[in-house]
Structure 1
């Protein structure tokens, strides 16, 4: 008998239609969701209703609460794995947070849905059922946190929401998915080579994302510093470039011990010091900006905040894998 803990946090997967035809996120309980999955007889499901919120109400504080709930369930040695239901808009951020703050070998699966339970062609029950099957599978031990969506299994580090409404809502550009679930059979074709774990000792600090575009200046960098951000993730372009008008504000922030990480808005490829001009990745690296390799800005923000809270001194080695 496989024992799975289902921890619910709300989102479209647990939504109900309101009187005005809109959706109320998180209105359904976990038990209501689980009752529709028709699980195999050898799987025992325990439901933990943690939050009933939209995913845009997720925060670092709530991610930490979710993490504690997961760790509590994993204290039971008979628990085979964990499934977390979540709204899709910030699902990738929570999944990656859990990935780098959990070291248990057992599977942790995060899922959601693009359509509500009552919509025609809903993906609620297939995503939930497939996630439970994955959490019960030995194939996903030591893989880290995964996202299961539309019969595909994704690594938390590279998965991202790519469509606002289509059932194929998630992808991993350049890396692909880890495996599939087909007719209740879990198959894995690749696994991450590295796992990371960071224990947070302090309050998770504010880290902001600032996007670069033509004509951008340093006003948002200056505002982030003024409001108390301890870290800033720059989403540059190409190999990691920003406008010359942003450079002085970046330098001022570094001089005030603000940790800055450079990422790229490109879907694939790494930040790399290929050019020598004001605002290039090479120029910014000389000033103390950390080059964030192939991390997208959201994952880099999660990692930077967690590493800062772990009392580690942040450098490029943290963005190597």
Structure 2
């Protein structure tokens, strides 16, 4: 009876498993690269961390079983709809999503824009497969469940829990190919720590998200095509022209520096805009504000700037913006809002 009463007091957390390194296996205990991702199922993940039962009533669903480099718009839409359906249930207090690290920041930001609840949503992954010595997946998963079940995490937006740290979806990024401390929030800073079985928050995002978002995916079966054109010395328009010819509704220009436009490429971007594609100037640098009317006359060119969003997150916001409007003025407002 005592254990049943204890279980009733615990939060109810659902784990949605999508695959990734956290569910990966290697040839030996020292294999930390060259392993196979997405081989372990959700029930096995839960059984591997029995300590979670002390902090939450945990249930699991296997929604996908993929390495995250294969994540698609269709996966995002399906995941977002499932998250919203679960969070609408009174007996679900929070959600944890296990995910490969390669595109985890993108999935987190997408959900940050489309989840319609203040209940905690936490993405978690691992940089080492489950079979490795000092695998980081089990403690990360425990912390994610702890965070998703915490009342203190409500209203904080979608979060990523990695390495005892709490990061906000909008600003976090993967910074290293292989080390366990890869996830960081440069300049703007993480939200807090998880220590001693408790989350400690020190800041929150000032940008709108989740329950305050204007985006609704409930009736969407696809997203507009938006592609990224990467800036570099001696750049040409081959990729840009191909994307436009393939029907891109938007182009993220991941320019050098402050989103500078190479002399050879600017005419192609102007032509793409004249054909109806929305052009968003972003930067490959990874930090800082993209200055409107800085390295280009955005007002005259009818371009949009990405604010502080990196190119891969700018793509997500533009796709969702295009489901609502084709006005560059309104899209610029959206980039300064989210």
**What's the TM-score, normalizing by structure 2?**
0.89
Deviation per CA, 1:147-177: give whole Å up to 9, x if none.
Answer: 1110000010111100111010111111110
Match in the other structure for 1:150: 163
Match in the other structure for 1:123: 136
Match in the other structure for 2:7: none
- Find the partner of 1:309 among 300, 304, 323: 323
Alignment partner of 1:218 is 2:237:
yes
Mark the CA change 1:78 to 1:143 in structure 2 (over 3 Å): closer, same or farther. Answer: same
- Find the partner of 1:249 among 238, 263, 268: 268
SS in 1 for 2:166: strand
Distance 1:210 1:285 in 2: 21
Contact 2:280–2:305 (CA under 8 A) maintained in structure 1 = yes
Match in the other structure for 1:12: 21
Contact 1:239–1:274 (CA under 8 A) maintained in structure 2 = no
Structure 1, unmatched stretches of 5+, are none
Distance 2:223 2:57 in 1: 35
Mark the CA change 1:174 to 1:289 in structure 2 (over 3 Å): closer, same or farther. Answer: same
Distance 1:57 1:149 in 2: 21
Match in the other structure for 1:25: 37
Match in the other structure for 1:294: 308
Match in the other structure for 2:216: 199
Distance 1:75 1:304 in 2: 27
SS in 2 for 1:303: helix
Match in the other structure for 1:231: 250
Contact 2:13–2:96 (CA under 8 A) maintained in structure 1 = yes
Alignment partner of 1:51 is 2:94:
no
RMSD: 1.7
Contact 2:37–2:129 (CA under 8 A) maintained in structure 1 = no
Shift of 1:267: 2.7
SS in 1 for 2:54: coil
Alignment partner of 1:281 is 2:296:
yes
Shift of 1:281: 2.2
Distance 1:205 1:18 in 2: 40
Alignment partner of 1:264 is 2:280:
no
Alignment partner of 1:184 is 2:197:
yes
Shift of 1:237: 2.0
Distance 1:274 1:228 in 2: 27
Contact 1:238–1:271 (CA under 8 A) maintained in structure 2 = no
Mean CA deviation greater in 22-31 or 53-62: 22-31
Contact 1:95–1:156 (CA under 8 A) maintained in structure 2 = yes
Match in the other structure for 1:97: 110
Distance 1:52 1:232 in 2: 30
SS in 2 for 1:32: helix
Contact 2:55–2:146 (CA under 8 A) maintained in structure 1 = no
Structure 2, unmatched stretches of 5+, are 1-9
**What's the TM-score, normalizing by structure 1?**
0.94
Shift of 1:221: 1.2
Shift of 1:17: 2.8
Shift of 1:226: 0.3
Q: How many residues align?
A: 315
